[in-house]
Amino acid sequence: MTTTAVRKEGPAAVTPPPTVGSHVRNYVSRVRGGDVGALPAVLGLIVLCTVFAIMRPSSFLSAGNFANLFTQGAAVTLIAMGLVFVLLLGEIDLSAGFASGVCAAVLANVVTVLGYPWWVAVLAAVATGVVIGTTLGMLVAKIGIPSFVVTLAGFLAFQGVVLLLVQEGTNISVRDEVLVAIANRNLAPALGWALTAVAVLGYAAVQLLRHRNRAARGLITDPIAVVALRIAGLAVILGTAVYVLNLERSRNVLIVSLKGVPIVVPIIAVLLVIWTFVLQRTSYGRHIYAVGGNREAARRAGIGVDRIRISVFVICSSMAAIGGIVAASRANSVDPNTGGSNVLLYAVGAAVIGGTSLFGGKGRVFDAVLGGAVVAVIENGMGLMGYSAGVKYVVTGVVLLLAASVDALSRRRAAATGTR
């Protein structure tokens, strides 16, 4: 003790109040230490956008294509947001894709075949997701089958269920106005601006209140300049995006006017805020991280580990249901391939590319949005370049592998430098 005690004075007195400079230095040292966070995804997004912008300047950079990116990536992003919860525990849900298909098929059956109003169909679809998630979670947590096997079985079985629900290969169209609007209509430009203002002001209020609260109690706070920079950054990014989305993007304005923020964007934003709140600001979220970081420590801390494990599968399948609803809306129909083919791979890829660890304990819901953007840009840009579906699959597969390698390597680096 005597050897170490002389160095430092006390927990509060040790750290000097952080400045903007120390903040930046801390970040750099964290990245060097292997905690890369969202950096690879952001860099990847910039590189991809630059490449596509140079190769296809007129089509990739158009406002219409920018709006397309959101609707293209929405379903995958929503499924990925749910997958983050499962990945946080170090588990996997391979059935999320077809679970979204099953829920979409339920939606289509309820609204088109049975003729109920749209909200009944949405509730039925989400309820289906809850049931699927509960079943998967029980099998994993209570019976103890590895999640990989349970959800692989689910992957096969749900594929069959979708086929049965859509009567062997036909498709069910979804014509309900509200449901179709989700992925195909836009907010009025003024409403888009209003929501942006609400989002930025809300974020600013939360950040400033926290800053004031901590400062009042004499706790270490981020420098006010950093807080202001965060708020300004959000305002600039949201403002630019909304401005571009509010541009006229119809080819012939006389026939139809096409402008505004796609309706899926606020849906994703609201779910992002809700789930981020749950993960970062409630004990339930804290316990998810704890179980993912060290299950035994969590158990000894009195956390109901089984309950947490079941609940993340419920969240994942419910989010898959919402993803399925959006997919059904975008296609105006549900067919046997809804939620199939590359949807699951893209969703897992989105979460991992965004920075969620496959080893558990590390990840944010925002990762799914960021990774979803990367996946959507690849899919979209490659399409514009005229590459075949085959090339797209190969490239996406390679990108997923790259992201997983970054995850594994940063973990090793973190272990070597002692930051993990």
Partner 1 sequence: MSATPLLELRGIDKSFGPVQVLRDVALSVHPGEVTALVGDNGAGKSTLVKCISGIYPTDAGEVLFNGEQVHIGSPRDAATLGIEVVYQDLALCDNLDIVQNMFLGREKHSGIVLDEPTMEQLAAETLAGLSIRTVTSLRQHVSSLSGGQRQTVAIAKAVLWNSKLVILDEPTAALGVAQTAQVLELVRRLADNGLAVVLISHNMNDVFAVSDRIAALYLGQMVAQVKTTDITHAQVVELITAGRSGGLGLATDPGSNGDGPQPADSISGGVR
Contacts with partner 1 by CB under 8 A lie at: 1-5, 7-12, 14-15, 213-214, 217, 219-220, 281-283, 286-287, 289-290, 292-294, 296-298, 300-303, 361-362, 414, 418-420
Q: How many CB atoms lie within 10 A of CB 265?
A: 21
Helix 147-165 with 96-108: angle, nearest 10 deg: 30
Q: How far is the CB of 184 from partner 1 (least distance, A)?
A: 36
Closer by beta carbon to partner 1, 56 or else 286: 286
d(CA 252, CA 99): 39
Closer by beta carbon to partner 1, 10 or else 386: 10
The tokens for 14 are 């040790």
d(CA 312, CA 136): 10
Query: Are 100 and 75 spatial neighbours (Cβ–Cβ below 8 Å)?
Result: yes
Closer by beta carbon to partner 1, 150 or else 351: 351
CA 390 to chain centroid, in Å, comes to: 25
Helix 224-245 with 189-216: angle, nearest 10 deg: 170
Q: How far is the CB of 220 from partner 1 (least distance, A)?
A: 7
Closer by beta carbon to partner 1, 33 or else 64: 33
- For 74, residues 6+ apart whose C-beta sits below 8 A from its C-beta are 183, 262, 264, 267, 268, 323, 326, 330, 372
CA 225 to chain centroid, in Å, comes to: 28
Q: How far is the CB of 356 from partner 1 (least distance, A)?
A: 12
d(CA 240, CA 348): 29
Q: How far is the CB of 372 from partner 1 (least distance, A)?
A: 23
Q: How far is the CB of 98 from partner 1 (least distance, A)?
A: 31
Q: How far is the CB of 16 from partner 1 (least distance, A)?
A: 10
Closer by beta carbon to partner 1, 169 or else 418: 418
* Phi and psi, residue 262, nearest 5°: -55, 145
Closer by beta carbon to partner 1, 25 or else 214: 214
Handedness of CA 329, 330, 333, 335 (dihedral sign): negative
Closer by beta carbon to partner 1, 35 or else 379: 35
DSSP-derived letter for residue 41 is H
Closer by beta carbon to partner 1, 7 or else 251: 7
Q: How far is the CB of 90 from partner 1 (least distance, A)?
A: 11
Q: Which residue has the tokens 């946080």?
A: 88
Q: Give the dihedral of Cα atoms 132, 357, 325, 67; nearest 10 deg.
A: 180
Q: How far is the CB of 301 from partner 1 (least distance, A)?
A: 3
